[in-house]
Every structure is written in C-alpha cells, then in structure tokens.
Amino acid sequence: MRLCVNDMKEQKVGVKFLRQSDADFASAFAAFIAQDRDNGADVSEVVRGVIKAVRRDGMAAVEKYTKEFDHFDLKERSVAVTRDEIDRAEAECHADDLAALEFAAARIKSYHEKQLPLDERYTDELGVTLGWRWTCVDAAGLYAPGGRAAYPSSVLMNAIPAKVAGVKRLAMVTPTPNNEMNPLVLAAAKRAGIDEIYRIGGAQAIAALAYGAGSIAPVDVIVGPGNAYVAEAKRQVFGVVGIDSVAGPSEILVVADGKNDPDWIAADLLSQAEHDPSSQSVLITDDEEFAGRVSDAVNTQLAASSRQEIAAAAWENNSAIIIVGALDEAPALVDAIAPEHLELAIDDPETMLGKIRHAGAIFLGRHTPEAVGDYVAGPDHVLPTARAARYASGLSVLDFMKRTSIIGCDQAALAKIGPAAAKLADAEGLPSHAESVRVRLKE
C-alpha cells in the first residue's frame, strides 16, 4: 500500500519488525532478504527489441525511442551537447555548488589515484621471464541517470576513475526529458573531463554506446547506474563491451546501539529510501526501546519530506528493523544481507569491521553518515546491490583497465619447462601444441 501526502500526516507508515528471539526469525529473515524489490518486472524482451532496432537502424532508432520516451524530437537539435551549451549551463550554477563539485572532484581523484595497480616483471628460478602489465581501455561510456532526479555526483564518480586510469575518450549519455538538462550535471561533466555528451537515455543509449549509432562511436566499457531497462540493457550487451555491474535498487543497513540519537539514524535510513520506492533500509539494534524511537523519528521526518511518497513506499514495503539479543550477533546478519551501504554507529566500529566480510562500502562510527560517501569522502559511490557485495566490488580504476600476462623463455628456460608442456598437450590430444614446443627443443 502506498500513502499519499495527505494520508501521511494522518497515520504512521508501518515498517517490518523482526526479532531474533522469535521462533520463526530464521524463516522470516530468509524471506526478507529473498524478496523481489523490482516486483518481478521482466523487461528483457522490451530491451532486446530496443537493442535490435538500434543495431539495425542506428540513430533513426535512437531518435524514435527518444521521441517516444523523452518527448522531444532529437532531429531538431544535434544529439551531442555542445561546448557552448555546457558553458551556458555552468553560468546558471550557483558558485557554492560549483565549489562543492570541485571539492568533491579533488577528493575522488586523490582516492582513486591510490588504486592504480603496478606492473610487475621478474625471472623465476628456471629462467622464465614472467609478469604482467596494466593498460586502460580506449573508450568508456558513462550513463548518468535523469528520471526521478539528476545526480551530478554520479557524473564525478563514474568519470574520474576512468580519467585516472588513463582512458582517452569518455562519452556520457543522459536522458533529457522534454530536452531539459540539469545545469549542474553538465558542470560536473566539464570538471570530470568528459569528452562527449549525448542527450539520450534508456536502453537505446546503452545500445548506441555498445554498437555505435550515427555520430556516436562504440566504446569498450559501459558504467553507471540506471533504471531496470538500463540495467537489463547493460546485461544484454555485456560481452560486446565490459560493464561495471547490473545495479539494482539502493540499500542501506545501519547497525546501531541505543546511545545514538534516533533522529540521526532515522535520517540515515531515509537517505536511501528517498531514492526510489524499491529502495531498502534496514536497522539492526539490540535495544527495542531505541528501535521504537527510530521508527517514530522516521515517520516524523517522512511527514516533512518532499520525497515523502517515494520514501514511504520504500520504508513500508521493503525495509525492516531487526532486533538482536546482542550486537555480537549482527555481523552474521550483515554478511547474509551483503548491503550496498553499511553504517556501524556503535562504540567500537573497528572491532565489528573485522568480523564483516560482505558490504559495498562501510561507514565507521556515529559521525559518518552514508551521505558523505555519496558525495565527498572519496571512494566511489557506484556499489554492488542486491547482495552482490558477496562477490563484487564498487567501481574503481580497475573497471577501466585490464591486465596482460607477460611470458618469455630463452633456449635454456624452454628446455626446462617445455617437456612438461608437450606431455600435457599429448594428454589433451592436441598434437600441434606439443609439436610447437618439441620443434624448438630439437635445437
């Protein structure tokens, strides 16, 4: 059930309470983490049709879908955003906003520079030269969401790691409903060093980046969050291009004791709920009375929120407050949920940090709200969702780089390792493999 704005002032939004002391907790918890927050929507066939049309018809298909979904005729203006448009948009931005962008960009760049991997070259005990080298991709495509909200921060988070990795060509696509763009998004693109900006979005934009369309040349990697159609399009073009991940709805999990201000924790929980009705916010605490105060604080803040309907739906339908007997029991639950964002608002977050394996980003202490990670902390805010933190990492410079192995033998080294290679080739029934080694051993 969704509540309208007027209803919200009349009644509280109920959130699911799970108590570890309840006999059915294990089954209730398993059902909670398994729930489908996308409501089972299958957009794969729609997306497949869009991609097929773009591959077949190129820019004509992109124009068709732009008119259908974003409600403007792309033929009336160039698909590419011009430098003059970017400069005019920047002039519309408040100086304080531009300063905040520059502050964030500098911190993001500094953090990602420390992620750059090192090349390695050595000679082993048999005289074989071995090693690896890292090189960046030639071109990357960045998807910047439009839709419900425009996110200049996502532009910085997607583009700066690519630039730090050394990518020479960065092409950004962003939906522009009614041909309107957020000026701060364009200002962020300018500061991040993006080379090309195209006023298209949706699955058609992903297809254009992967296969090319008109003046849009193909890229090697596509990154950035989007709606279900964008996520599915990235899934379908993977293999033609690399992708960062198939992102799902936003998530936050807060582990908090009763020493926290409930208003602080409520605001943290709503910071993700306000993204989308399919978002999820979870509180784990060992204090039942504190849990109730947080629930009340959430309802109070919802009543005053400009994104009330969105956040209320996420809070009521997808979220939970989990009450444990002791906070020592929290790490196992955290690892089972594998959240995108994890806040440890407790006395000794470092100790609990050492017991947790699965989370996209971890925020330590009572004074580290998730929002600082979204904007200015430095680490990337493009993170694994839907329990993908069990096996995946957030966006980094490595998403724009690839490692090449290096192997070198002289005659003496081949004499030492070649016979075993030839034997294994014989065992696998690949005679030319074996002969390519033995012909050299005959020297």
Active site residues: 340-341
Give the span between the Cα atoms of 74 and 208, in whole angstroms: 14
The answer to whether the CB of 359 falls within 8 A of the CB of 373 is: no
Neighbours of 438 (CB within 10 A): 16
403: Cβ–Cβ under 8 A, 6 or more apart, which residues?
Answer: 117, 132, 133, 134
Give the span between the Cα atoms of 141 and 198, in whole angstroms: 11
Give the span between the Cα atoms of 201 and 95, in whole angstroms: 28
Task: Answer left, alpha or beta for residue 239, where phi above 0 means left and psi between -120 and 50 means alpha.
Answer: left
Residue type, 383: L
Give the span between the Cα atoms of 147 and 225, in whole angstroms: 12
The answer to whether the CB of 314 falls within 8 A of the CB of 278 is: yes
How many Å separate Cα 245 from the centre of its chain?
7
**In sequence order, what E strands does 91-159 have?**
120-123, 129-136, 139-143
Give the span between the Cα atoms of 399 and 406, in whole angstroms: 21
H-type alpha helices, 35-94: 44-57, 59-70, 83-92
Pairing relationship of beta strands 242-243 and 221-223 according to DSSP bridges: parallel
Give the span between the Cα atoms of 344 and 357, in whole angstroms: 14
Residue type, 409: C
The answer to whether the CB of 279 falls within 8 A of the CB of 370 is: no
